Amino acid sequence: MKTVYLSDIPRIATAVAEWCACLIVMERYPRRYGGPRLWGILGAALAVQCLFLTLTDRLPLLLWVPCMIVAVGLMFTLTALCCDMPLTTAGYCTIRAFLLAEFAASLGWQLYSYAQYSLGWQEAGMRKSLLFLGVLAAVYALVFCGARWLEGRREDPRTAMAFRLRELWSPILIALVCFFLSNLSFVYRDAPFTGSELTDIYNTRTLVDLAGVVMLYAYHVQRCELYVQRELGALQSVLENQYNQYRLSRESIDVINHKYHDLKHQIAVLRAEPDAARRSAYLDGMEEEIRDYEAQNKTGNSVLDTVLTGKSLYCARHSIELTCVADGARLEFMDVMDICTIFGNILDNAIECELSIKDKGRRLIHMAVYAKKDFLVIRCGNYCPEPLKFQNGLPVSTKADKTYHGYGIKSIRHAADKYGGTVTLHDRDEWFEITVMVPLPAGTGAA
């Protein structure tokens, strides 16, 4: 028989570990408070955590899981109260802190118990208390300083920590499975995959908790790296747009030079024209042309300006009338890539439809971007003489090659869904319209 030297972990040790773990995961996030107020909240949270877990130590086993849920809720409250972050991000931080605390408490108590029985200090006394405090302090310092060092080595993009509620299911599932497996033997010692001796039980608990911490860290690293790759792709897109903008500027200069050459001849005609009415008509025409060239896509968002400028010049070269009324400042909360995806795909689809219309005088596209109550509305309509057929919510492609059918609309929906938005399509009275509605962040709604 193996030597049984372990007893249950004191709740006070678990409470301190949970509090320390919250401090570690919160360190990289902006604080809501500072100075004495912050330390007051932290001190009160530690007292409440210790008091709650100590008072619930002797409750029946049936109430153990509800008590742990309340303890996790206290960790979540502390994280959400101290840090300026969305509640979903606070939930993710709480999950990581909970598993880290479980591992630190289990490892600390296991090493203390081993040292206690190795030294023969089973009886209560000053030496036993000092050993408990010393081992626990050393283990907590090692675990939490190590976790802090790992967190500090990384420069994680802020957007990677903007969780949607459904994205929390993976870390929640990891935490639940690890917590269930690590504590299964405490509830059912005679079931499959459980042990009967406390040494085996605590070895399993410590190792499973360590595995959970490692899995969540791996999940965190992978998520951040995916977002870094995405940011690099967005940067590359911006650079390409800048180069395209340069090329378009060269084309515009050529057009302006041509118009300048024409204006010299028109001025000469005006000087020789004796009829005042005809001179006025000439001047009106010149003024209209100048007004057209003065009109630039200045929406208040540089990314949208770039997209619209490129599409506008393409439309002008292909006799498509593109009009746009956009409050681009409303798009500041969206990622660069999402703006490019939504507007680029919307306009590409509309342009593709208009190019199929033989009558160039009926090639019309109109786009509007505005705020309505607490929503950002992106609406684009284009003339579409042929009624469209829909399949699975998508217009059926008229192309011979349907391999990539619907990917534009799917990309728009995916980008809108990230912000809790919706995409609707309408086809009526020879007019096709797509509308994207996205909830505006708090405090940025329409006046």
List of E strands, 265-332: 321-326
Handedness of CA 22, 166, 153, 239 (dihedral sign): negative
Which residues, listed in sequence order, are joined to residue 367 by a DSSP beta bridge? 324, 380
Task: Give the chain's mean pLDDT.
Answer: 80
Q: What is the pLDDT of residues 169-195, one digit of tens each?
A: 889 999 888 888 877 756 555 555 455
Q: Are 323 and 367 in contact (CB under 8 A)?
A: yes
Q: Are 374 and 446 in contact (CB under 8 A)?
A: yes
3-state DSSP assignment of residue 321:
strand
CA angle 349, 385, 322 (to 5 degrees): 50
Give the span between the Cα atoms of 430 and 447, in whole angstroms.
Answer: 34
Query: What per-residue confidence (pLDDT) applies to 274?
Result: 77
Six-digit token string for 199 = 């040494």
Q: What is the pLDDT of residues 413-444, one digit of tens each?
A: 888 988 999 999 988 888 999 999 999 987 66
Predicted structure pTM score: 0.59
Q: Which is more confident, 200 or 77? A: 77
DSSP readout, 141-185?
HHHHHHHHHHHHT----GGGG---GGGGHHHHHHHHHHHHHHHHH
Q: Are strands 375-383 and 364-372 parallel, antiparallel or unpaired?
A: antiparallel
Residue indicated by tokens 């005006």? 270
Give the span between the Cα atoms of 162 and 171, in whole angstroms.
Answer: 14
- Per-residue confidence band for 2, with pLDDT thresholds at 50, 70 and 90: very low
CA angle 251, 257, 263 (to 5 degrees): 140
Q: Are 66 and 35 in contact (CB under 8 A)?
A: no
Dmax over Cα atoms in the chain, in whole Å?
Answer: 120
